Amino acid sequence: MIEILILAFVAGFVLFRLYSTLGKRTGAERPAEPTPQPAQGHLPREQAQAPLAQPTPAGPAGEGLMAILRADPNFDVGHFVAGSKAAYEMIVGAFAKGDRETLRGLLTPRVFDSYAAAIERRAQTNEAVPELVRLRNAEIVEADLQGDTARVTVKFEAELAEGAHGIRDARERWTFERNVRSNDPNWLLSRVQAA
């Protein structure tokens, strides 16, 4: 009974940390500054070339990130990247431990089913459990908004230990998704690909 209580407490703490890391709205965020709309007719040349009120995210994911920002002004790219790193560490750790309950709150149902099947298969074959040694890098490589669903793909570079096999480099692209109209600020892992 004590073990169940301890495991429930640990799972609750992990979910709380993820909630506080991935997209929590605290009310202290900078309010979105509206982009002025041109009046009917022509603007003076200097005014027409004025910079946007918000900085435009650059890189290949810039357009998708801007679409997400327009749909959800509380979205913060830097905060998202920090949260995705924490999610990576939590998901890899929970997978290594076989902790299905923690994974259930971090993954879409389809991804959860594949992780649960891998945990079951691993238990039957006694294969090595990958453990995170070091997360070297995380960068957003894709972003898009389809309807109300925002998807952001992050490329992770990490070192994983696999028992007697030693340490290997892992390069993966993880796609997180969230309904921008939802009150739940948490992003769920919806796809994993080799990078």
pLDDT of residue 34: 42
Show the DSSP H helices in the chain as ranges. 2-21, 45-48, 62-71, 77-97, 100-104, 109-125
Asked whether 192 and 115 are in contact (CB, 8 A), the reply is: no
Asked whether 177 and 108 are in contact (CB, 8 A), the reply is: yes
Asked if residue 160 belongs to a domain, the reply is: yes
- Structure tokens of 176? 């997180």
- Domain count along the chain: 1
Asked if residue 54 belongs to a domain, the reply is: no
Write out the residue range of the structural domain in which residue 136 sits. Answer: 60-195
Residue from 172, 168, 146 nearest 157 by CA: 172
pLDDT of residue 5: 62
Whole-number Cα distances in Å, 115 to 57, 97, 190: 33, 12, 12
Asked if residue 172 belongs to a domain, the reply is: yes
Q: What is the DSSP letter of 29?
A: S
Asked if residue 132 belongs to a domain, the reply is: yes
Asked if residue 69 belongs to a domain, the reply is: yes
pLDDT of residue 63: 93
Q: What is the pTM of this model?
A: 0.69
pLDDT of residue 47: 36
Asked if residue 190 belongs to a domain, the reply is: yes
* pLDDT averaged per 10 residues in sequence order, the chain, 195 residues: 66 58 52 39 36 55 93 93 96 94 96 96 86 94 96 96 83 97 94 92
73: domain CATH number? Answer: 3.10.450.240
Asked whether 108 and 188 are in contact (CB, 8 A), the reply is: yes
Q: What is the DSSP letter of 180?
A: T
Task: End-to-end CA distance of the chain: give it in Å, rounded.
Answer: 43
Asked if residue 10 belongs to a domain, the reply is: no
Asked if residue 144 belongs to a domain, the reply is: yes
pLDDT of residue 195: 81
User: Within 13 Å and on the Cβ side, how many CA atoms surround 147?
Assistant: 5
Which residues are bridge partners to 159 per DSSP? 134, 169
